[in-house]
Structure 1
């Protein structure tokens, strides 16, 4: 069903409608291949492959929609020239466990041949109509901080405000295991224990999903792990919550490798040759622990660390133990990088090992959709100052 149209020069008309998996998949894949993901302008560029499932980044959310922009009557006949995805969920607003229904807009792409014609704006506006129909009070979007056209679109034409500035931190997976921490022990929690801990300790963190149980029990979730000082007696999660150790950290793993793949393009030949050399040296002498660079120049998968939290003076050290464990899980699982996203003021950021060259700085923009709902107890969240942490939902990474 056609939901909007834009007349174009030369008799071409662009229709915005709901994605039809039976006929739109090839066109969506072509648009995805034509659009860069990640920083450009001489830096490394990441291109994504959704493993044949254009809905993979939203289908695990409680409610989701995908729209396409279809050009009709142009020189190429009928073709898909734009795409956007959206989902709706309930999250914590960072104020004493107050929750709000919010929408997340992601995966906006417009073919290079059809840019600067208002197609991106029309896709966003139609998606926002659906957000309102679903009762969302706010919509937010994440974009690369250096992507000026995207920032202008959302903060200018679409009326979003700059909200949070988290960073994506990425660490390569070496050809050898990392030695476990000598100061921390890592305990695996089952889904019930993890849910209890998260609701008690992270339940008021911004963007904490009310349906955390669905996240933890998802087939792509690889488990939740708790790091405590070595020698700490484990008395179950209830005992931990009643009397936590002086320092601790928790995090969960998500298998993005089975949802999408990435590929680094644009790297100079010297960088590629150096990466091959490090891998060869690591294979020849794994006991040396050489920080080898995996092959990122062909499609590869990653593991995502989410739900990072903790407390105590040595919490960053506990977090570092968790990431060493995550590295080894990723190596055994065939992932080539471990990634996470943390807030600008995240206390545990110092414990996250990462290579700055592989990461990115994000900008989260937010828009209030429900002006008629009244401020209520929440007030206007879009004007709230940032807290120390944010919860990044792995279903939307």
Structure 2
């Protein structure tokens, strides 16, 4: 018998962490995820407006004297309000695009211990979580999974009624032992959370998945800052005119991104590497550390638990926007080196024009992630865009760092 109930940190923490460690993730199935850095397995969703973690508990032995139960699965979920499309509204003689919002739920961290798979535990966890979504007014639910993870894809698309929706790319760049060069033609300015919020609403207000509570993200302690790249002749950090003047007199080309500190929430570890691979990786790091001027692309220490920084809110305008994004990614690389990260990562739409400026290693990346979506009820948005599950993808999406 399997009982699904809410996670109790006092008695379930150690068992939940054990299930997490035993469930490998990633396209190769050789990445382990550690979530006990804060002693809180629910920390990955705690920063969302509404969240819940459920565990599946199973009786594994029963005798006349006692009954022993074991946690064999778990799932996390959160709910927020996001942009799902846009509508046109007349402002005088002009038509202005306005965002259409919906209450969206997100499922992450579905784990079932290997010995107890394929007996319906995952389905029961998903169904129970969806009941909580509906009770709290969520209109849609979505999940992200690897397209090659056939058990996961089959569970959601064939048994739970989800449909394939978007195929973004997860791009991962290793952090080398040396700092990378950031062009001097670009000034990089750290924006205040208030200015960043104003700029992001200007950039993303009608972009899919843009959270209505963006200020909660930007003021979060895990947010390391929002950085704006502009031509060095236009301004620098000392002559920054403020966000209002920037938007009124912006340069021809510019770009912006933010950095989220996943390193303080969870760590990853690549398993199953050969002895020769580990020796090669260590050698590249030693040479890079000893001869940094050679700028060797050293392999990071990914065979032990390592942390990452997540880059989100990538946006740019102008003919050289991709070059400004490249400068920002290089800046983020150096920030990751200062903080002891193994990699920096981002996730963008598959047709995102700015991905040309994002450096990444193909072997560490997932060029086609899979997002699946489900309509939970009859009411959705404000009726302006129809059924979101049937909408066409845009050039960009906004990836919320709280859900990475």
Tell whether the structures are fold-level matches, with TM greater than 0.5: yes
* 1:356 paired to 2:344: no
Q: Tell me the SS of whatever aligns to 2:314.
A: strand
C-alpha separation between the residues in 1 aligned to 2:306 and 2:381? 46
Aligned to 2:285: 279
* 1:203 paired to 2:205: yes
C-alpha separation between the residues in 1 aligned to 2:243 and 2:276? 50
C-alpha separation between the residues in 2 aligned to 1:225 and 1:40? 33
Q: Which runs of 5+ in 1 are unaligned?
A: 1-12
Aligned to 1:384: 391
How far 1:250 moved relative to its partner? 0.5
How far 1:375 moved relative to its partner? 6.6
Compute the TM-score of the two structures, normalised by the length of structure 2.
0.92
Q: Tell me the SS of whatever aligns to 2:263.
A: helix
C-alpha separation between the residues in 1 aligned to 2:383 and 2:356? 37
Aligned to 2:79: 88
* 1:159 paired to 2:161: yes
Aligned to 1:101: 103
CA contact (8 A) 2:101 2:382 kept: no
Q: Tell me the SS of whatever aligns to 1:371.
A: coil
Aligned to 2:112: 110
The CA deviation string for residues 258-315 of structure 1, in whole angstroms up to 9 with x for no partner, is 0001101112222211111110111111111111112111111111001111111111
Aligned to 1:68: 55
C-alpha separation between the residues in 1 aligned to 2:379 and 2:223? 38
Q: Which runs of 5+ in 2 are unaligned?
A: 87-97
CA contact (8 A) 2:82 2:210 kept: yes
Aligned to 1:336: 342
How far 1:374 moved relative to its partner? 8.4
How far 1:48 moved relative to its partner? 0.7
* 1:243 paired to 2:246: no
CA contact (8 A) 1:94 1:387 kept: no
Matches within 5 A, 1:42-61: 45-50=30-35, 51=37, 52-61=39-48
Aligned to 2:13: 25
**Which of 372-381 and 250-259 deviates more?**
372-381
C-alpha separation between the residues in 1 aligned to 2:183 and 2:120? 53
CA contact (8 A) 2:100 2:382 kept: no
How far 1:70 moved relative to its partner? 0.2
CA contact (8 A) 1:47 1:264 kept: yes
The CA deviation string for residues 92-116 of structure 1, in whole angstroms up to 9 with x for no partner, is 1132311110000000000111111
**Which of 337-346 and 67-76 deviates more?**
67-76
The CA deviation string for residues 20-52 of structure 1, in whole angstroms up to 9 with x for no partner, is 1111111111111111111226xxx21111123
Q: Tell me the SS of whatever aligns to 2:156.
A: helix
Matches within 5 A, 1:292-371: 292-360=298-366, 361-371=368-378
* 1:37 paired to 2:44: no
Q: Tell me the SS of whatever aligns to 1:53.
A: coil
Compute the TM-score of the two structures, normalised by the length of structure 1.
0.94
2:297 aligned residue (277, 291, 294): 291
C-alpha separation between the residues in 1 aligned to 2:33 and 2:381? 40
2:137 aligned residue (135, 138, 142): 135
C-alpha separation between the residues in 2 aligned to 1:316 and 1:351? 4
Q: Tell me the SS of whatever aligns to 1:80.
A: strand
How far 1:56 moved relative to its partner? 1.2
C-alpha separation between the residues in 1 aligned to 2:380 and 2:194? 35
CA contact (8 A) 1:165 1:344 kept: yes
1:172 aligned residue (174, 185, 188): 174
Q: Assess, with a 3 A threshold, how the Cα gap between structure 1 residues 302 and 73 changes in structure 2: closer, same or farther.
A: closer
CA RMSD in angstroms, aligned pairs only:
1.4
* 1:232 paired to 2:234: yes
Q: Tell me the SS of whatever aligns to 2:99.
A: coil
